[in-house]
């Protein structure tokens, strides 16, 4: 008996949706059914509110895409729905026939966005081919602020030279107190990151006052004594690039742009004397 036989049957066709969220170090398995499902030796946990939309067929303008909803309390949203940069996350959807246990993988793509709204989060995934083809081509704009991402190949600042390995002392919502900030001043880590050593989960740091860090979103689970690494942040100004990172030669902005646009300022009539 094949999957198609069951799927086309008017009496025996009944399928269950299985979802795999595959990250660099962790795989989360969920099902939209009412009870947990064991398939291929793995348990897919029932998650109320998990629903998948219709797979949108790709066109010349847009890649094939799938959107689903997932409670914000789910560990997937906690790990990937907040902070930046976005880490790679792959989504597989399997349809499992309940009678014959025949299965078919109906979707395999990259998660490109997780948008929490209220108690639910919208998860958008595009096909793996579409994800590659839709990668934006970098563009350079003329502006004062640096356009590089801190520590990237254009910035060239060595990440390892601006990190502080420490441990968590206490956690209170969005605030995390660490054992040490390496003697650095307040807001040294503003717009930087805190990364947990055990699994690489990270959050953007909004700012720090001494050893107390304010995060853009709390960790799903973070405990005292957890080992973490802090990375300095950048305001993308030439002054910070020069004074904090000694990297002004690689500054990706144009700090000398005049504040007024000569094309927006009316010309002043000149009076030529002696004529």
The model's pLDDT over 85-101, given as tens digits with 9 standing for 90+, comes to 456 889 999 999 877 78
Which of 198, 180, 216, 200 is CA-nearest to residue 83?
216
Region 14-29: mean pLDDT is: 89
Does residue 56 carry a pLDDT above 70?
Answer: no
Is pLDDT at 30 greater than 50 in this prediction?
A: yes
Residue matched to tokens 């605030």: 175
What stretch(es) of the chain map to CATH 2.30.110?
3-133
Please list the residues that pair with 205 across neighbouring strands: 215
Helix (H, G, I), strand (E, B) or coil at 162: helix
Quick check: 267 pLDDT over 90? Answer: no
**Portions of the chain given CATH number 2.40.10:** 159-250
Report pTM.
0.60
* Residue predicted with more confidence, 86 or 150: 150
What's the pLDDT score for residue 24? 76
In which element (H, E) is residue 243 found?
A: helix 238-243
User: What is the spatial distance between Cα 12 and Cα 47, in angstroms, rounded to a whole number?
Assistant: 25
Which CATH number applies to 159-250? 2.40.10
Bridge partners (DSSP) of residue 213 are: 176, 208
Fold of the 3-133 domain = Pnp Oxidase; Chain A (2.30.110)
- pLDDT of residue 20 exceeding 90, the answer is yes
Half-sphere exposure of 137 (CA within 13 A, CB side): 0
For residue 97, give both structure tokens: 């026939």
């Amino acid at each position: 008996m094949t999957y198609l036989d069951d799927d086309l049957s008017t009496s025996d066709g009944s399928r269950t949706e299985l979802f795999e969220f595959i990250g660099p170090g962790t795989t989360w398995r969920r099902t939209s059914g009412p009870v947990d499902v064991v398939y291929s030796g793995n348990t897919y946990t029932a998650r109320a509110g998990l629903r998948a939309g219709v797979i949108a067929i790709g066109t010349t303008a847009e890649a094939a895409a799938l959107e689903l909803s997932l409670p914000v309390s789910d560990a997937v949203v906690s790990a990937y729905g907040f902070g930046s940069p976005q880490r790679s996350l792959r989504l597989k959807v399997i349809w499992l026939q309940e009678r014959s246990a025949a299965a078919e993988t109906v979707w395999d793509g990259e998660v490109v966005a997780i948008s929490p709204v209220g108690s639910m989060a919208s998860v958008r995934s595009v096909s793996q081919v579409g994800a590659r083809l839709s990668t934006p081509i970098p563009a350079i704009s003329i502006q004062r602020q640096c356009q590089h991402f801190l520590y990237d190949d254009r910035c060239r600042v060595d990440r390892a030279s601006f990190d502080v390995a420490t441990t968590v002392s206490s956690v209170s919502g969005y605030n995390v107190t660490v054992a040490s900030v390496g003697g650095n001043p307040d807001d040294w880590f503003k717009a930087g990151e805190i990364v947990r050593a055990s699994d690489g989960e990270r959050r953007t740091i909004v700012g720090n006052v001494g050893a107390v860090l304010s995060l853009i979103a709390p960790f799903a689970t973070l405990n005292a004594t957890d080992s973490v690494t802090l990375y300095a942040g950048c305001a993308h100004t030439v002054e910070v690039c020069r004074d904090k990172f000694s990297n002004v030669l690689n500054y990706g902005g144009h700090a000398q742009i005049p504040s007024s646009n000569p094309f927006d300022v009316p010309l002043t009539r000149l009076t030529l004397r002696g004529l």
